[in-house]
Amino acid sequence: MLTQAQMKKLLDGVVAAGKKLAKGADFAASAYSARASNTRFARSEITSTGDVDDTVVTVTVSYGRRSASTSTNQTEPAALAGAIQRAQAMARLAPEDPEQMPLLGPQKFLPAPAAFDPATAALPAAARADAAAAAIAAADAAKVDIAGFHELRGGGLGLANSAGLFAFHAATSVAFTATARTPDGTGSGWAQGYTPKWAELDSAAVAKVAVDKSVRAQKPRKLDPGKYTVVLEPAAMDELLEFMLSALDARRADEGRSFFSKKGGGTRIGEAIFGDKITVRSDHTSKATPGQPFTGEGLPLAPIAWVDKGKLAALRYSRFWAQKQGQKPTGSPSVTELLGGDSTPAKLLEGVKRGVLITRFWYSRWLDPQTILATGLTRDGVFLIENGQVVAPVNNFRYNESPVKMLKNADALAQVTTPLAWWEGSLRVPALRTHDFNLASVSDAV
């Protein structure tokens, strides 16, 4: 991957070439340069692996409101000139976009906590193989099968344009997931670890959580579908919350095609839609959620609360829509956190007379954007809770439910929040207890 200095040199060169080749045009360039490496294991043995260092340069050429972008991973001057000329030709042919916004000039960014770990970026394949072996050993000890995936990324995103903007952000990430399955095929367990630093990941410990869960999930009892009190572990929480986050778009709300549209026009900002325990915010300056300080256009990001103690506090505004509506643009931050509450995972179970503990969801899809209704399935650890205790593993379910209702009905959130990989950034969420959750049909899958 390129360092900040190398990135600056590359992008300055691209912008200079752009100004020369595409005279009279506005010109923006971005580059993402990263080493991505991974090791995959399944059936308790390493199955595949990969290592690639790639730099992708994207150039955008605009003649007035005619604009086009093209990207290439060939960074020699001749290849970049070719990309510029391609974007130029495309821009000349492209119809006008009345919503095109002018380039941003130099900006000041709120710095993010250091998120780049050189040791992680340079980690050799043998270290990944050893970590996989440690996870496999944890499974061998319990006589279960294990499959897992270590994915490491060390990369930097740089932006530059003909109006003088330059921005750079580098980060490393380590994502590890493991699924353990009992040999009789009746128990499955899953766990994950996500961190910027390899040294902070204990692969054996993560694997052990998955292994223990698979053993406890063995020979599930049959439980009928219905509406249950549920305790959602962070991964389950996260998957459902993402539907709500994706719907936080101001334009769709203003256009009357969103859950957050107000009847008769406008948005529902200010309305108490969720329970008062719910606060959702993005803050790339926080140590808990270090993230990219700018959007792809170079717009500086600022800490923002989307939901504040249950009230819808903000929606995402693009630069164009913000200008049209007389609002401040928010961009789309790469990190978001649902703040924790005052409970603990053990306390979440207390007071549950009869309910279900859910590890995670799978294959979640939209059912109805009007109500932010989604469907999906439980997997890798579902347990019956009775009188505050986990009493037995139960079958998997399909859910048909809305994250809005899940948050509205939440009466306790764990204090601790857990980071999970989320597109190019991360989400941080606590475990949560909620009621009247629609587990609509049984799934025979294990």
Partner 1 sequence: MSMISRRQLLQGVGAAAALAAARPSLALARGMLTDYVLDEVTGRALAAAKAAGATYADVRIVRRVAESIATREDHVTDVSSSDSYGLGVRVIAGGAWGFAASAHVTGAEAERVARLAVDMAKANAKHVRRPIVMAPVKPATAAWQTPLTRDPFKIPLADKAAFLLAINAEVLKVPGVKFCNSSFEALGEWKLLATSEGAHIEQEITRIAPGYSATAVDATSGEFVSREHELPPSQAGWEYVEASSLLADARKIGEDAVEKLKAPSVTAGKRDLILAPTHLWLTIHESVGHPTELDRVLGYEANLAGTSFATLDKLGKLEYASKIVTLFADKTTPGGLATCGYDDDGVPTQKWDLVKQGKLVAYQTTRDQAAWVNEKESRGTSYAEDFKSFPFQRMPNVSLAPAAGDKGVKDIIAATEDGIYITGNGSWSIDHQRYNFQFGGQMFHEVKKGKITRALKDVAYQANSLDFWRSCDMVGGAREWLMGGTLHDGKGQPVQSNGVSHGCPPARFRKVNVLNTSTRA
**Footprint of partner 1 on residues 169-198 (CB under 8 A)?**
177-179, 181, 190
- Restricting to residues 284-323, name those near partner 1 by CB under 8 A: none
Q: How far is residue 233 from each of residues 80, 239, 272, 357, measured CA to CA in Å? A: 47, 10, 25, 8
Nearest CB to partner 1, comparing residues 61 and 339: 61
Tell me if 242 contacts partner 1 by CB under 8 A: no
Helix-, strand-, coil-residue percentages of the chain, each rounded to 5: 25, 40, 35
Torsions phi, psi of 116, nearest 5? -110, 125
Long-range contacts of 249-254 (CB under 8 A, 24+ apart): 249/315, 249/316, 250/315, 250/316, 250/317, 250/321, 250/322, 250/325, 250/327, 251/317, 251/318, 251/321, 253/315, 254/321, 254/325
How far apart are CB 360 and partner 1 at their closest, in Å? 10
If one asks whether residue 136 binds partner 1 (CB under 8 A), the answer comes out as yes
Cβ 339 vs Cβ 279: under 8 Å? yes
Q: Which is nearer to partner 1, 48 or 387 (CB)?
A: 48
Binding mask 31-70 for partner 1 (x = CB under 8 A): -----x-xxxxxxxxxxxxxxxxxxx-x--------xxxx
Q: Which is nearer to partner 1, 120 or 177 (CB)?
A: 177
Least Å distance, CB 288 to partner 1, is: 26
Which is closer to partner 1, CB of 159 or CB of 339?
A: 159
Q: What is the DSSP string of 157-204?
A: EEEEETTS-EEEEEEEEEEEEEEEE-TTSS-EEEEEEEES-GGG--HH
Residue among 333, 344, 318, 313 at smallest CA distance from 430: 344
Report 98-127 residues binding partner 1 (CB under 8 A).
98-99, 124-126
344 near partner 1, judged by CB under 8 A = no
Nearest distance from C-beta of residue 294 to partner 1, angstroms: 20
Q: Contact, 193 vs 317, CB < 8 A?
A: no
Q: Is 72 in the site for partner 1 (CB under 8 A)?
A: yes
* Distance separating alpha carbons of residues 41 and 148, to the nearest angstrom: 5
Give one DSSP letter per residue of 322-370, joined into a string. Answer: HHHHT-------SEEEE---SB-HHHHHTT-SEEEEEEEEEEEEEEETT
Q: In the numeric block, which tokens belong to residue 307?
A: 């939901």
Q: Which is nearer to partner 1, 11 or 34 (CB)?
A: 34
**Residue with smaller CB distance to partner 1, 234 or 293:** 234
Mention every residue, 6+ apart, whose C-beta is less than 8 A from residue 342.
Answer: 413, 415
- The footprint of partner 1 on residues 364-383 (CB under 8 A) is 364-368, 370-371, 373, 375-377, 379
246 counts as binding partner 1 under rule CB under 8 A = no
Taking the complex as a whole, how short is the minimal distance between the CB of residue 382 and partner 1, in angstroms?
A: 12
Q: How far is the CB of 357 from partner 1 (least distance, A)?
A: 18
Nearest distance from C-beta of residue 215 to partner 1, angstroms: 16
Query: Which of 114, 119, 354, 363: binder of partner 1 (CB under 8 A)?
Result: 363
Output the smallest distance, CB 140 to partner 1, in A: 11
Interface with partner 1 (CB under 8 A), residue total 91
- In the complex, the smallest distance separating the C-beta of residue 166 from partner 1, rounded to whole angstroms, is 22
| Smallest distance, partner 1 to C-beta of residue 70, A | 4
Contact present, 136 and 41 (Cβ < 8 Å)? yes
Restricting to residues 77-96, name those near partner 1 by CB under 8 A: 83, 86-87, 90-91, 93-96
Nearer to partner 1, 67 or 282 (CB): 67
Q: Given candidates 184, 255, 276, 436, which one binds partner 1 under the rule CB under 8 A?
A: 255
Angle between helices 203-216 and 125-141 (to 10 degrees): 30
The CA distance from 306 to 297, in Å, is 21
Smallest gap, in angstroms, from Cβ of residue 284 to partner 1?
25
- Residue 204 interacts with partner 1 (CB under 8 A): yes or no: no
149 binds partner 1 (CB under 8 A): yes
**CB of 378 within 8 A of CB of 359?**
yes
In the complex, the smallest distance separating the C-beta of residue 354 from partner 1, rounded to whole angstroms, is 23
